[in-house]
Amino acid sequence: MSKTPRHFLVDTDLSPAEQAEVLDLAAIMKQRRFDFKPLAGPQTGIVMFDKTSTRTRISFAAGLSELGGSPLIINPGESQMGHKESIYDSAKVFERMVSVVIWRTYAQAGIEELAENSSIPVINALTDDYHPCQVLADLQTVREAKGSTQGLTMTYVGDAANNMANSYLLGGATAGMHVRIAGPEGYLPDDAVVAAATQRAEAAGGSILVTTNPAEALADADVVVTDTWISMGQEDETEMRLKLFKDYSVNQDAMAQAADDAIFLHCLPAYRGYEVAEEVIDGPQSRVFDEAENRLHAQKALIAWLLYASGLADIPAEL
Ligand code: CP
Ligand code: NVA
């Protein structure tokens, strides 16, 4: 087994086969929530936040506890890292004391620097560019609702230049899905992300479509997703953004264009009446609270899998 640490900084850090292993393990974590012990010994995890959070904080805290470990939550401004101390020195201290580092921050480059200097797994709990843990939970939810992700169409409508759009592209492609992304001109994903997603989709049996036309993206979709139009840090642009995205709302007309048995997902927090209509998020096709719960199971699986793959924990005989 390799002693090189495995990190999860971006969705494509897991190959299609590895992502499937994590999702299989997530299903076991859910079915056998308190009687399956995937890790021997205490495992302390640092969970650091430079931005606010509800789901990510609670799911990592509960998940680490359920794995037999302890979460150490560090709120914005509470550690020395980033102002009094370098990322390099922080990484060297963390690896002497804990098993895993989970970080929500702004710049992707920051978490990459932490991982480059860490001998223990580093997990991205959201950056400006990606939210890969969220998409793992979404994929678990799609598997539960549809049996599989392979060959299904997942359509994202809204702010197509944000972290969720990027992670749906890369994570959905890894799961063999046909990922369609619709947003206004100027708020579409970067070419580099689209190119990486297209390459991954081709390898995994899916495809990528990026368009400014929501109807083109929504036609017969199996899964419809959206996200806030105002991500953390963009609050000063609220007025402009509410106008910019008004034709990209997931309302009943939008859902009617998708397949009859389509499900609706949203990472939450949601702003009813803006990116999603109340009738949709609170309606029969919505799976948003299954999706929120699955953050817990998917992340427990991810932590265990990264420790196994890094050679830092033994895989239980029963797996
Ligand atoms: N979906 C999500 O990451 O929620 P929080 O910002 O509350 O953690
Ligand atoms: N795009 C949102 C996701 C929140 C979970 C943000 O970055 O604020």
Q: Model confidence over 147-175: pLDDT tens digits? A: 999 999 999 999 999 999 999 999 999 99
Q: What's the mean pLDDT when you consider all of the chain?
A: 96
Q: Tell me the C-alpha to C-alpha distance, in Å, between residue 223 and each of 183, 216, 246.
A: 17, 14, 21
Q: Is the pLDDT of residue 3 over 80?
A: no
- Spatial distance between the Cα atoms of 2 and 4, rounded to a whole number of angstroms: 5
71-80, long-range: CB < 8 A, 24+ apart: 71/44, 71/45, 71/47, 72/44, 72/45, 72/46, 72/47, 72/98, 73/47, 73/49, 74/46, 74/47, 74/48, 74/49, 75/49, 76/49, 76/50, 76/51, 76/52, 79/48
User: Could you read off the pLDDT of 27-58 as tens digits, one per residue?
Assistant: 999 999 998 989 987 789 999 999 999 999 99
pLDDT of residue 1: 40
Domain locations in the chain as residue ranges = 11-130+295-309, 133-291
What spacing in Å lies between the alpha carbon of 51 and ligand 1's midpoint? 10
- Spatial distance between the Cα atoms of 207 and 198, rounded to a whole number of angstroms: 6
φ, ψ dihedrals at 270, nearest 5°: -110, 150
Q: Is the CB of 56 under 6 A from ligand 1?
A: yes
User: Whose C-alpha lies nearest to ligand 2, atom 8?
Assistant: 231
**Can the peptide bond before residue 269 be classed as cis, meaning omega within 30 degrees of 0?**
yes
What one-character DSSP code corresponds to residue 315? P
Q: Quick one: which ligand is closest to 53's CA?
A: 1
Matching CATH number, 133-291, of 3.30.1360.70, 3.40.50.1970, 3.40.50.1370, 3.20.190.10: 3.40.50.1370
Q: Do domains 11-130+295-309 and 133-291 have the same CATH topology?
A: yes
- Spatial distance between the Cα atoms of 283 and 278, rounded to a whole number of angstroms: 8
Q: Is the pLDDT of residue 304 over 50?
A: yes
Ligand 2, pocket residues at CB < 6 Å: 126, 131, 162-164, 227-228, 231-232, 267
pLDDT of residue 317: 87
Give mean pLDDT, residues 242-252: 98
pLDDT of residue 88: 97
Q: Is the pLDDT of residue 203 over 90?
A: yes
pLDDT of residue 189: 98
Q: How confident is the model at residue 84 (pLDDT cuts 50, 70, 90)?
A: very high
Q: b/e for 60-98, b at 16 or more Cβ within 10 A? A: bbebbebbebebbbbeeeebebbeeeebeebbeebbeeb
pLDDT of residue 120: 97
User: Could you read off the pLDDT of 254-272 as tens digits, one per residue?
Assistant: 999 999 999 999 999 999 9
Of the candidates 298, 226, 286, the residue with the CA atom closest to the CA atom of residue 29: 298
Residues recognised as catalytic: 104, 131, 134, 227, 267, 295
CB 265 within 8 A of CB 157: no
Q: Is the pLDDT of residue 125 over 80?
A: yes
What is the three-class DSSP state of 247?
Answer: helix
Q: Which is more confidently placed, 93 or 42?
A: 93
pLDDT of residue 41: 74
- Annotated binding-site residue? 234: no
The least confident of 41-45, 124-128, 235-239 is 41-45
Q: How confident is the model at residue 83 (pLDDT cuts 50, 70, 90)?
A: confident
Q: Is the CB of 55 under 6 A from ligand 1?
A: yes
269: how many CB neighbours lie within 10 A of its CB? 12
Give mean pLDDT, residues 245-252: 98
Q: Tell me the C-alpha to C-alpha distance, in Å, between residue 270 and each of 188, 249, 276, 309.
A: 20, 12, 8, 35
- Spatial distance between the Cα atoms of 149 and 224, rounded to a whole number of angstroms: 13
Of the candidates 213, 139, 128, the residue with the CA atom closest to the CA atom of residue 170: 139
CB 259 within 8 A of CB 220: yes
Q: Is the pLDDT of residue 108 over 60?
A: yes
Q: Identify the CATH class of 11-130+295-309.
A: alpha beta
pLDDT of residue 2: 45
User: Does the pTM of the predicted model rise above 0.90?
Assistant: yes
User: Could you read off the pLDDT of 267-287 as tens digits, one per residue?
Assistant: 999 999 999 999 999 999 999
Residues composing the chain: 319
Of the candidates 45, 165, 48, the residue with the CA atom closest to the CA atom of residue 104: 48
